[in-house]
Amino acid sequence: MDRREALKRTAWLMGGAVSAPAILGILKGCTAKPTIDWKPVFLSPEQGSLITQVSEIIIPKTDTPGAKDVGVPGFIDQIVNECFTKEDQESFKKGLQEFDDAAKKEHGDSFIELDAEEQTAFVKKIHDAAVNAEDNGKRPFILTLKELTMLGFFTSEPGATQVLQYSPVPGAYKGCIPLSEAGNGKSWAT
């Protein structure tokens, strides 16, 4: 028996001795981690990945682009960096960490490590709890993230032109018509 054959047989024998939890650990370690295609300025890459996943759950890709496709995560990073006060920035980061900690507490893994169904169910659960919670003066993180996601999506070109009604020129120009026919019988305010 040569060396190569001995290694094959040893590997085959050892494969039978490996426990199921070890195999699951190896397989879980080999799954591809979600990546981001934008460079965070304010958030860390891990936080950027989490924002990307949650925003895509809020507005998923269907027959129209999803939040990730139109650059919503980068928009959120930019808005938080440039428009939020220092206190609001810290509150946003704290909310992001609490969100991930809640996922770890409930599922034993960070949000990014969960499968797609668990992520969606977790976001829905946190969102519904925030909507039904009493207003204590502090806006829940998930509602802030949802607001920023929707703002970023509906102000993007695909969101404004493919999802919302969009008329680049609001009405055709008709030069010589009676005022009663212009504007559905109503005069213009200006």
Residues 113-138: pLDDT tens digits? 999 999 999 999 999 999 888 777 78
Residues 47-60 have a mean pLDDT of 94
Q: Return d(Cα 160, Cα 167) in angstroms, integer.
A: 10
pLDDT of residue 168: 66
Q: Return d(Cα 19, Cα 27) in angstroms, integer.
A: 12
Whether the predicted model's global pTM rises above the 0.75 cut: no
Residue 92: is its pLDDT beyond 60? Answer: yes
Per-residue exposure over 105-144, b if at least 16 CB sit within 10 Å of its own CB, e if not = eebeeebbbbeeeebbebbeebbeeeeeeeeeeeebbbeb
Q: Return d(Cα 99, Cα 10) in angstroms, integer.
A: 46
pLDDT tens per residue across span 3-31: 666 656 665 555 544 444 444 444 444 44
Q: Return d(Cα 35, Cα 185) in angstroms, integer.
A: 55
Q: Return d(Cα 79, Cα 81) in angstroms, integer.
A: 5
Structure tokens at 24: 């699951």
| Banded model confidence at residue 2, pLDDT cuts 50, 70, 90 | low
Residue 72: is its pLDDT beyond 90? Answer: yes
Do 42 and 80 meet the contact criterion of CB atoms below 8 Å apart? yes
> Which carries the bigger pLDDT value, residue 157 or residue 21?
157
pLDDT of residue 190: 44
